[in-house]
């Protein structure tokens, strides 16, 4: 353990558990944001644009993904996904097409160029996952992820309550 790590550990030990948890989550988010920026840079896109492409890759079942589905998954406004998807379309990284059922709904799908790029990153992604999650069994990771999802839902409710308190 480096001196920097030791100093950080000593400082953390003096915090109460809720503050420590909050700092750890914030730190995790910073690391994930850095990784998104790096992977996005390899494709010439921003971190948020990278996340849009990954969401589409994960959700698309060969008929495209509606913008509102992507925005809900990423917890962003649909107008943000609309704007960014237009930029990604200009870079020929995704296709935007009207839904056959409702022309008002725009469906997003990856181009072959993007699919090939993502396939080329498969080994790096696998190594990343192994490094981060090797201490967890599949069951432990599923349980931990479930608890994080529950916490996320509670935080969302708490934010709404806090917003109402400050807006009145």
Pair 75, 55: CB distance under 8 Å: no
Stretches in the chain below the pLDDT threshold 70: 12, 14-15, 168
CA dihedral (150, 151, 152, 156) positive or negative: positive
94 - beta bridge partners? 110
Please report the pLDDT score of residue 143 as a whole number.
97
> Residue 151: what pLDDT?
93
User: Are the CB atoms for 89 and 95 separated by under 8 Å?
Assistant: yes
| Class of domain 3-134 (CATH, top level) | mainly alpha
Give me 22's structure tokens: 């909050």
Residue 108: enclosing H or E segment and its boundaries?
A: strand 106-110
| CA torsion through residues 50, 51, 56, 58, sign | positive
Contact partners, residue 52, CB within 8 Å, separation at least 6: 70, 74, 81, 84, 85, 88, 94, 108
> What does the pLDDT read at residue 168?
65
Please give the pLDDT value at position 17.
80
Is 97:107 a contact under the CB 8 Å cutoff?
yes
């Amino acid at each position: 353990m480096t001196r920097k790590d030791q100093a950080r550990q000593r400082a953390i030990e003096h915090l109460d558990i809720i503050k420590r948890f909050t700092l750890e989550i914030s730190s995790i988010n910073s690391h994930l944001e850095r990784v998104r920026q790096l992977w996005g840079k390899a494709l010439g896109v921003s971190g948020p644009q990278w996340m849009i492409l990954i969401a589409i890759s994960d959700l698309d079942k060969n008929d495209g993904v509606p913008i509102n589905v992507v925005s809900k998954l990423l917890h962003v406004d649909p107008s943000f996904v609309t704007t960014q998807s237009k930029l990604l379309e200009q870079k020929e990284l995704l296709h935007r097409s009207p839904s056959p059922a409702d022309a008002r709904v725009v469906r997003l799908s990856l181009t072959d160029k993007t699919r090939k790029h993502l396939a080329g990153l498969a080994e790096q992604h696998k190594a990343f996952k192994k490094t981060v999650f090797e201490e967890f069994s599949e069951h432990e990771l599923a349980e931990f992820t479930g608890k994080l999802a529950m916490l996320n839902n509670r935080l969302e409710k708490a934010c709404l309550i806090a917003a109402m308190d400050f807006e009145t």
